[in-house]
Structure 1
């Protein structure tokens, strides 16, 4: 096999020093235009390819950043990738990627591998159940002083930067919207497992119900996987109650899409016979039929800010870690309306 051409190969061909070749390939003006042209032509003729790995070893920076997402089966999480990839590409960095499948062992193995391969930093959507010990314990000493930013899901008390959505505010926006429409019988379909988003969204729902003086019934509080099947399967059970809910608040758009599918099977009209809300405002939410009322998580702002923080840490920023919450937005579409049997109820003072 022919050996890969090196800077010395080019230097010998042109009759200059290796340092002159290095400067010329970077268009350094210290090398005359004529010599630069000769060197660059020789490099092209020899098939020279810049060895970024070797250069990274010399600089102590591989030029790569790592991104580990928890679950690609939920399209919401992929929306972060586009925003982050753009920022890293503009910064001249290549992105390594891992799909952790909500599995702690896969996440842990990738974190070690990306450190072994010299990644300059890591953005992480923690898998379900990730604890502070998983990021700062004795088994992950390689993360000590390592640039790491958590997004979407929080890990309490960790010493790393975190950029997350204000999930409690998002549920409050949904509740206030449904309450103003006249809904007093609301059901909760929770998902997300053992994550900050699952805990924060359900806690906010319970708090809003309590503040409004509305009873919380175990028969209308359900938990399951973040899946279409869960949303689809729960509608029959909820509508079979002696007093069924007039609105269903779903942990995510994915669950809400399952509820919408079940509505059509039962002949229910979302937004007329039953109000349904999602959370995340995935791209598909605007194109469901009818279009889904949801809470928009600003994946663009979260992705951009996380990338900015990571690049700053890589560059040497040693300021204390930050925890930033991005405000969500309520997007009202066609799956919410007044309760069917009463129409619009007069406002009722809460709390």
Structure 2
């Protein structure tokens, strides 16, 4: 679709057939998945559909109406326990309201995200809760969601998107956990994880930087290490940090998954986390509470955020005139063994 174009509500099959240079029946075969159509013809028809902004109403006979009880839930990384907990909160509220969630995992693929959102609209989803994939743009999202589908953006805010949103307080949470490390006496503190293009990373690094600056502690650019927000990413980035001639004494991690990867890397080098180096996370997933040593982190209540997201989306579905709203969830410091606070207290007492 040309840049700046908007999806049309009433594109007809005849228009698609004319633009693609095929018969109306060929277009119908592609839409319904019945019969045999040459791959190149199918691709040409699908391209025309995208250019015209057409969305096939697969559930028109029995699903697509103002009383649709289907909600789409599109997650960017279901391998991260945080998003599994978020999904539990969403489904709890939807179930109580008599709705069914269609869930999809994009694995950080914008292409996959557009595909699953189109499929959800085809099957009559009255609304979609989206945890955006990495590098999602407002323009791409406008085309994928369509004007007829209520949309709520969760966890990762997207500047320029006209939709309700539910996000944790990333800036305040990151500043809070950084101040905790500073209060423990750390000055050479690294920030590890996330990619610079990620809005959440920008927010969390902002909180880290503000706390360091306010404390009068210089930030070493060499201790700002990016990586994908995964356990493997955390392991690799932490290994690089520990290979520095003057390694950090403490590490603020983008999320719990990265922090656990960092803990594994530290252990691989023979370091005792909480004694030889402090490592902290963000999210407070169940895994953070059960690893050894238990992870100091920022609790944002993933289940509660999911519940709030579902409730806000249902309000938009049942009342399309309702204004778009935003919710910023609290971010609380959870002190456990990985930061060395207890070891610090014992040393001070002795």
- Per the TM alignment, residue 227 of structure 1 is displaced from its structure 2 partner at its CA by 2.1
CA distance in 2, matches of 1:133, 1:236: 38
Return closer, same or farther for 1:94/1:236 CA change in 2, 3 Å cut-off: closer
Count of matched residue positions in the alignment of Structure 1 and Structure 2: 287
1:225 matched residue in structure 2: 228
Q: Give a deviation string over 1:66-123, Cα, whole Å, max 9, x none.
A: 1110112222111111111111111111111111121111111122221121111110
* Structure 2 residue 154 is matched with structure 1 residue 117: no
**Residue 186 in structure 1 maps to residue 197 in structure 2:** no
CA contact (8 A) 2:128 2:151 kept: yes
Superposed, 1:72-151 pairs within 5 Å as 72-136=78-142, 139-140=143-144, 143-151=146-154
For residue 336 of structure 1, what is the aligned residue in structure 2? 339
- Return the match for 1:62 from 68, 73, 76: 68
The counterpart of 2:322, out of the listed 312, 319, 323, is 319
Cα RMSD (Å): 2.1
Helix, strand or coil at the partner of 1:248: strand
Q: Does 1:283 align with 2:289?
A: no
> Taking structure 1 as reference, are residues 239 and 109 closer, same or farther at Cα in structure 2, changes over 3 Å only?
closer
Contact preservation (8 Å) 1:256, 1:277: yes
Larger Rg: 1
Q: C-alpha distance in 2, partners of 1:235/1:63?
A: 45
Shift of residue 306 of structure 1? 0.9
8 Å CA contact 1:162, 1:324 repeated in 2: yes
1:309 alignment counterpart: 312
Structure 2 counterparts to residues 155-304 of structure 1, below 5 A: 155-192=158-195, 194-304=197-307
State the secondary structure of the residue aligned to 1:71: coil
Equivalent pair of 2:164/2:326 in contact (CA under 8 Å):
yes
For 1:230 and 1:69, the matched residues in 2 are separated by 19
Query: Which ranges in structure 1 are unaligned for 5 or more consecutive residues?
Result: 1-51, 345-351
- For normalisation by structure 2, the TM-score amounts to 0.77
230 and 135 in structure 1: CA distance in 2 versus 1, 3 angstrom threshold? closer
**TM-score normalised per structure 1:** 0.76
What is residue 26 of structure 1 aligned with on the other side?
A: none
Q: What's the offset of the Cα at 1:151?
A: 0.7
Contact residue 296 and residue 337 of structure 2 kept, 8 A = yes
Where 2:192 maps in the other structure, the secondary structure is strand
For residues 106 and 272 of structure 1, do their structure 2 counterparts lie closer, same or farther at Cα, with a shift above 3 Å needed? same
Q: Where do 4+ consecutive residues of structure 1 move more than 6 Å?
A: none
Q: Secondary structure at the match of 1:335?
A: helix
